[in-house]
Amino acid sequence: MADGHQREMVAMDRALELAVLGPAHGPNPRVGCVLLAADGRTIAEGHHAGAGTPHAEAAALAAARASGADPTGSTAVVTLEPCAHTGRTGPCTDALIAAGVARVVYAVDDPNHAAAGGARRLAAAGVDVVGGVRRDEGERVLRIWLHALRTGRPFVTVKIATTLDGRVAAADGSSRWITSPEARQHAHRFRATVDALAIGTGTALVDDPALTARTADGGLDPHQPLRVVVGHRPVPPAARLHGPGGELVTLRTHDVAEVLGQLAAREVRHLLVEGGPRLAAAFLRSGTVDEIHAYVAPVLLGAGPAAVADLGIESIADALRLHTRQVEVVGPDLLIVGEPLRRTTTTHPPANAPKET
């Protein structure tokens, strides 16, 4: 039994590796699955490649059959509780039961009210079910998706790029380029992992950004996030935002809750707020920022606009402090990734959460 437990732990580690192969963006979770024969051998693997494609369990079962392996009596080791609903694909629970899988080991309970209940359904069919295996690791892989399902709103990352003295532009308004080409390419790679990018109308009018995710050679990444402009002023017809890239969405509001609600309705799981200082401040004041990416260049200006507008903080005791999760050297610049320590998150009923498909 001890040997069997160890083999399942190794298989779960592999399933977590497989999960990361799935897209970081989109309405569905990143899930991996490993099928173990009764003697502990791995007979098949699978992962979910995105909405409309087979779920990890179905992909692993298909791989087993394609190789001539019989999944009857096998153990399915999967990073998320198998779903019990029909979306674009059938329930994974039914596929596992029909295949004769004898045991299911999973990491994270499914918080999606429409898809949950898979463990109960499997157990009712006589399948041995164990949950919570490598739960913390599974939660880390699924943190964006889990956040969206549990709160009913997108996970919000605020990105800033500043000088050492916290400026985002010089006194004359020029801002290209504060950070290095390496930092900008790093930011483009991150853009390709999110569902939507947001800027304020001021940034749209002054900077005329394209808001695209680009590859190292300057081409468009295959995944282009929604381009969201927040504010009441219209985007000029000749703006680069009307060019190639993701769909342009204009939200005529300054209400952060309304922005997040409209994006949740569009199945946005991860929102990257890129500018400008007033929009960043609005999200920070609302308590809905989950993560900050700060690119800091070894440059001094001494004057010019700050990265974040007024937060209404008058005392150092009331400063919004961050837990530093990562520090990375990117070319000559630094990337600091932090999470606000003092945050009040507005939580909506799970029924408002985007659907899994």
Share of the chain above pLDDT 70, in %: 93
pLDDT at residue 275, as a whole number:
80
Please, how many CA atoms are within 13 Å of residue 65, restricted to the half-sphere of its CB?
9
Give me the pLDDT at residue 349, please: 38
pLDDT at 353 exceeding the cut of 90: no
Each residue's pLDDT tens digit, 227-254: 999 999 999 999 999 999 999 999 999 9
Class of domain 154-352 (CATH, top level): alpha beta
pLDDT, average across residues 349-357: 42
Tell which wins on pLDDT, 346 or 159: 159
Average pLDDT, the chain: 90
Whole-angstrom distance, CA of residue 136 vs CA of residue 67: 32
- Tell which wins on pLDDT, 114 or 173: 173
- Furthest-apart CA atoms within the chain: distance in Å: 71
CB neighbour burial string for 30-49, b if at least 16 within 10 angstroms, e if fewer: bbbbbbbbeeeebbbbbbbb
pLDDT tens profile 64-102:
999 999 999 999 999 999 988 766 667 899 999 999 999
Which tokens hold the place of 51?
């909405």
User: Which residue ranges does the chain devote to CATH 3.40.140.10?
Assistant: 2-141
309 pLDDT more than 60 = yes
Q: Which pLDDT score, from 0 to 100, does residue 176 have?
A: 82
More confident residue, 68 or 51: 68
Q: What are the catalytic residues?
A: 57
Q: Is the pLDDT of residue 209 over 50?
A: yes
| Helices 277-286, 256-265: inter-axial angle, 10-degree rounding | 90
Confidence of residue 114 (pLDDT cuts 50, 70, 90): low
pLDDT of residue 354: 41
Q: What average pLDDT does range 91-119 have in this prediction?
A: 90
The Cα–Cα gap between 106 and 64 comes to 19
Using 50, 70 and 90 to split pLDDT, how confident is the model at 153?
very high
What is the reported pLDDT for 345?
A: 41
Which tens digits make up the pLDDT trace of 172-204?
888 888 999 999 999 999 999 999 999 999 999
Give the pLDDT band (50/70/90) at residue 44.
very high
The pLDDT of residue 115 is 62
For the beta sheet containing 128-130, the strands, ordered from the edge strand earlier in sequence to the opposite edge, are 42-47, 32-36, 75-80, 103-108, 128-130
pLDDT in the model for residue 51: 80
- How do residues 282-299 score in pLDDT, each as one tens digit? 999 999 999 999 999 999
Among residues of the chain, what percentage have pLDDT more than 90? 79
Residue 175: φ, ψ to 5°: -140, 0
Task: Summarize pLDDT for 310-330 with one digit per residue, the tens.
Answer: 999 999 999 999 999 999 999
* SS (HEC) of the chain: CHHHHHHHHHHHHHHHHHHCCCCCCCCCCCCEEEEECCCCCEEEEEECCCCCCCCHHHHHHHHHHHCCCCCCCCEEEEEECCCCCCCCCCCHHHHHHHCCCCEEEEEECCCCCCCCCHHHHHHHCCCEEECCCCHHHHHHHCHHHHHHHHHCCCEEEEEEEECCCCECCCCCCCCCCCCCHHHHHHHHHHHCCCCEEEEEHHHHHHHCCCCCCECCCCCECCCCCEEEEECCCCCCCCCHHHCCCCCEEEECCCCHHHHHHHHHHCCCCEEEEEECHHHHHHHHHHCCCCEEEEEECCCCCCCCCECCCCCCCCCHHHCCCEEEEEEEEECCEEEEEEEECCCCCCCCCHHHCCCCC
Separation of alpha carbons 84 and 146, rounded Å: 17
pLDDT at 256 over 80: yes
Q: Note the pLDDT of residue 5.
A: 82
What is the average pLDDT across 252-260?
96
Domain with CATH 3.40.430.10 in the chain: 154-352
Look up residue 93 and give its two tokens. Answer: 């629970």
pLDDT(59) > 70: yes
Give the CATH fold of the 2-141 domain.
Cytidine Deaminase; domain 2 (3.40.140)
pLDDT band of 344, cuts 50, 70, 90: very low
Q: What tokens does 71 get?
A: 């999944």
